[in-house]
Amino acid sequence: MPSAMVSQTVQGAVLSVTSNVLAQVIASYKDDTPFALSFPPILKFALFSIISNPPNILWQTFLEEMFPSNVPQALPEKSLKDKPARTRTSKRNVLAKFILDQTIGAVVNILMFLGYMAYVNNSGAEKSASWSTMQADVGDKFWPMLLDGYKFWPVVSLASFLWVPVDKRVVFGCSVGVLWGIYLSLSVAG
């Protein structure tokens, strides 16, 4: 695994832990109970981040390779002499990445998250119980989570494709995703 991927994955895990701790603080405040840090959910979220960040890094790299945000700008022949290559933002490519990320990327990430959480929360149960829990969680939580994500992620995704270098997109997403991580932590609590 390249060092950049390791670095981004570690940064994402730290941000995931941060969001889970903040979610625990919020839940404690909402329930009007004394705060007591619970380590199992922190470890679950950190491990999920470690598992899910590398595929997301590869996904972002794939999208950028297929649909680069910046493409060479066509210049008249006589102006090409002794001038550095210029680029322009390709609206078509940004739109293509945006649509793919908000459809395929969103669905895969939600399914990974729900499947992972169902599995780790039922790790002592037999496989059929984990599978049943996974199916129930997907049935109950997939659409609400996807719709809630559409209230948050499209702006982040668009900003990322327009202004964030591809090698920083997952960490940018994780940084902004601290808020989303709080939502996820609260959605699977209990």
Question: Is the confidence at residue 190, as pLDDT, over 70?
Answer: no
Q: H or E stretch including 167?
A: none
Whether 173 contacts 160, CB under 8 Å: yes
Distance separating alpha carbons of residues 146 and 158, to the nearest angstrom:
17
State the average pLDDT over residues 60-81.
82
Instruction: Indicate the SS3 state at residue 72.
Output: strand
Query: What per-residue confidence (pLDDT) applies to 189?
Result: 67
State the average pLDDT over residues 109-137.
84
Return mean pLDDT, the chain: 89
Answer with the residue of higher pLDDT: 80 or 56.
56
Distance separating alpha carbons of residues 4 and 106, to the nearest angstrom:
23
pTM (2 d.p.): 0.85
Q: What is the pLDDT of residues 47-69, one digit of tens each?
A: 999 999 999 999 999 999 999 99
Question: Is the confidence at residue 141, as pLDDT, over 80?
Answer: yes
State the average pLDDT over residues 8-32.
92
Kindly report the number of other CB atoms within 10 A of residue 7's CB atom.
12
Residue 181 — pLDDT band, cuts 50, 70, 90?
confident
Distance separating alpha carbons of residues 186 and 34, to the nearest angstrom:
17
